[in-house]
Amino acid sequence: MNTRFILLLIPFICWGVGLSAQENPDTTYWKKDFKVGLNFNQAAFSSNWKGGGVNSIGLTGLLNYKAKYNKGQHSWDNEIDLAYGIVKNQDQSSRKSIDRIFLDTKYGRKFDEKWELFSSANLLTQFTKGYNYDVEFPNGEVKDSVISNLFAPAFLTFAWGFQYQPTEYFNIRFSPLTPRFTFVTDNDLSDLGAYGVDPGENLRSEWLAFQALADFDKEIAKNLNLKWKYLLYINYENLSLDEWDHRLDLILNAKVNKFMSVNLGAIVIYDFDQVDEVQFNQFFNLGLVYEVKNYED
């Protein structure tokens, strides 16, 4: 547990070091945006409903905080993105619908109007256990099988490189030096060699790698926001195309009023160390959202 706690603190330590390095920072150069949301989904059918269906209820909590500092040649972007949701279908146990912990910090120094050198760190993991449900074991027993957990996996990535930002709403980072550390602190999973670690080991280190990260976030119409993020990760030690990692996060958010929003999203992942197939997750939510920020769009 101590290892997990230390890992979780690393990005915050990076933020603290960066803050202490600035003498008397002027808060007028900070853009801060805090959002918290609660989404509720429910469906019910009478016993004589002929169209088919399953009674269900779902709840999702979201929290996102961004703090961006920009003055002269210097920039410092920070983000906390948390999400957790459960769904309960009739005659089934409660199951996760989304589970995400993402922390990111980046310091940049401009050398051109649209280009900057940057250094960044981010951490990606989840809150609770994930399962394969109703798995039949060799002894004939059918039960749920744990396939992930808190810090199993956790991906801690450091990157150094160049960022190109032609507009306020789009940027792309090129990182020729991107060491990544994959933690699997669940011993049952590490014994299986899950997520690319050697069987029995809790850590996999990838020191020599390239990463490209494209980020788009724009109001494409009044009260309609489109956000997507694409990540490409290539280990120099294995340049085979089928072992490049890809991840695409896509969210379309419509603001109904000050406190209500609708969002449609999808996550697409290809990670050879997890499974040699494309993973896909789609979601639709209607719920309450509260936002506070110190600037106008």
- Give the tens place of pLDDT for each residue, 92-140: 888 998 899 999 999 999 999 999 999 999 999 999 999 988 887 788 7
**Cβ partners under 8 Å of residue 238, min gap 6:** none
pLDDT tens, residue by residue, 179-222: 999 999 999 999 999 999 999 999 999 999 999 999 999 999 99
Enter the tokens of residue 33. 């945006």
The whole domain housing 31 covers 2-293
7-16, 42-51, 286-295: range with lowest mean pLDDT: 7-16
Torsions phi, psi for 16 (to 5 deg): -65, -40
Spatial separation of the C-alpha atoms in residues 104 and 97, rounded to whole Å: 23
Instruction: Report the pLDDT value the prediction gives residue 200, as an integer from 0 to 100.
Output: 95
Phi-psi region of 195 (alpha: psi -120 to 50; beta: other; left: phi over 0): left
Split into its structural domains, the chain has a count of 1
CA distance 93 to 218: 38
For the whole model, what pTM was predicted?
Answer: 0.85
- Structure-block tokens of residue 87: 């769904």
Contact indicator for 273, 294 with CB cutoff of 8 Å: no
The residues facing 152 across adjacent strands are 149
pLDDT at res. 107: 94
With 70 as the cut, is the pLDDT of residue 14 above it?
no
Q: What is the CATH number of the domain that holds 196?
A: 2.40.230
| Residue predicted with more confidence, 48 or 72 | 72
